[in-house]
Chain A
Amino acid sequence: MLILLQKIGYIILVLGVNLYIVSFLNNKIVSRAELRRGYKGHKRGGLVFPFSNSLKYIAKGVPFSIWDIFIFVFSIIIWAFVPISFNLYIIDSEHNLFFALVLYIMLIIFRVFSASYSKYNFIVSGFLKRTAQTLSLMIPLLFSVLSIIILNKSLDFKIIVNSQYQVWNVVYQPIGFTVFFISILLQIKLMNLSEHNQFLITDNINKEGEGISKLTSRFSNYLIIFFLISLLNILYLGGWQKLFMINGNIMIAIKFYVIFVIVALLERSISGISSINKLINLNYKLLLPLSVVNLAVTIVFFILRNVYSII
């Protein structure tokens, strides 16, 4: 019991520290990409600014729905299944990947409910479009994950990571990796990481009112982004496997931040994709066929290796 509480404490601590670093880093990246300073010219480089920014939301009395609480709680519960490092997880199951994905899809559906609580119709319609798009982006992602499951013959994160001790899965599944990466990039774009006003984001639920509702939705958005990046890290990039002499825990952190910086910069770079229709085209004309081809090739290799023992 004590170990469990200790683990929960560690996970919350790691998530909290990550939230702080990532929100600071994101602000800096977004502003420096525009040749601004970010967090203005605050004393000590604006290091305290993420805290004061969150306090600003708490101070405002805006009513929020029960779904916001659900989203927040579920975005934390998801970390019970996803291991942050090789022993930092709570539920040790053989089907962790399955549970994590189910929880993620539930989170997206909760966001629909949260939007429907709004009294403004334009927010609901726009938000539903975006959420439906996020769900449709899940299809190529799930196909890619299926390929990984077939490759590693397991739904357990630990087995998937341990099977990458020599070669990372990205070498075996370059197309799957590309599809997965583009899919999570577009999902993160729909979550409005850079808070950049574009066509997709103009009818945003976050515009409705600033308060604790916005704070929780921003927190849960960040946690979902962590989840997606961690998933990419674990499934394709070796997770906590050692690289040369570098410790696994340090390695997973380095990979996480490198991916985050690339995603944050790319999210700003794909401003050309500014309408839902373009996203739908990209999803159904590029990502979905690619992921299906990847899955088919993986299945063929699986059959050749395991049934006929050719390879």
Chain B
Amino acid sequence: MIRIFKNFFINFGNLFRKPRTVLYPREKIIVYEGSRGQPRLKLNFDTLEIICNGCRKCEKACPQNCISIKKEFKDGDYNLEEFNINLGLCSFCGNCVEACSTHAIELSYRYQMSEYDLEALKAEKLDLIKQAEYLIREFWIK
């Protein structure tokens, strides 16, 4: 009996609460802190160069094999030539972030990545750098 009244008042209170349903194109969900979205390559703010040294640890750690890295030997040191991620395969597991010893990769909050063409989901080095605005949770508010 008490449970019925309790349920009744919960239901009655719910009539005046804001509905949880989101009308997607018009409203967007503010994703939770720590949500995993598209990976991003970090820059060194002093030199404005990519931190990644192309050690390929992330490539090995990736369960989906969606990362491909190319290095070239130049001026007595290895430099990062290409860094590609196929986002169509990526499961946003975050293993690459954990595996990276130089902390060069991080996951942004970007979750809306639908495209008509699968090729458009293949992100290159420059694409992966240009993700700074997606580090804010409400990234659509600019």
Interface residues of A (CB under 8 A from B): 29, 31-37, 40-41, 265-266, 268-272
Contacts and interface: CB of A to CB of B under 8 A. Distances in A.
Contacts of A41: 21, 23, 26
B12 A265 contact: yes
A274 to B, nearest CB: 13
A31 to B, nearest CB: 8
The residue in B5, B11, B15, B20 that gathers the most chain A C-beta atoms within 10 A of its C-beta is B11
Given A33-B14, A37-B21, A269-B7, 8 more contacts: A35-B17, A36-B19, A41-B21, A265-B8, A265-B12, A265-B15, A268-B7, A270-B4
A271 B3 CA distance: 10
Contacts of A265: 8, 11-12, 15
B21 A32 contact: no
B21 A269 contact: no
A272 B21 contact: no
A268 B5 CA distance: 11
Contact of B14 (A35, A37, A40, A271): A35
A186 to B, nearest CB: 12
Interface residues of B, number: 16
Contacts of A32: 14-15, 19
B130 to A, nearest CB: 33
Contacts of B14: 32-35
Contacts of B20: 35-36
Contacts of B23: 37, 40-41
9 contacts: A29-B15, A32-B14, A34-B14, A35-B20, A37-B23, A268-B11, A269-B4, A269-B7, A272-B3
B11 A269 contact: yes
Contacts of A31: 19
B21 A36 contact: yes
Nearest to B23: A41
Interface in B1-60: 3-5, 7-8, 11-12, 14-15, 17-21, 23, 26
Given A35-B20, A36-B21, A269 B15 contact: no
Nearest to B20: A35
Interface in B46-98: none
A266 B17 CA distance: 18
Among all A-B residue pairs, the 4 with the closest Cβ atoms: A269-B7, A41-B23, A33-B11, A269-B8
A269 to B, nearest CB: 4
A40 B3 CA distance: 30
A41 B24 CA distance: 10
A32 B8 CA distance: 13
Contacts of B17: 35
A34 B17 CA distance: 10
A32 B90 CA distance: 37
A211 to B, nearest CB: 29
Nearest to B3: A272
A32 B16 CA distance: 8
Contacts of A271: 7
Contacts of A29: 15
A268 B4 CA distance: 9
A271 B20 CA distance: 22
A269 B11 CA distance: 7
Nearest to A269: B7
A41 to B, nearest CB: 4
A37 B20 CA distance: 8
Nearest to B27: A41
A35 B4 CA distance: 19
B22 to A, nearest CB: 9
Nearest to B8: A269
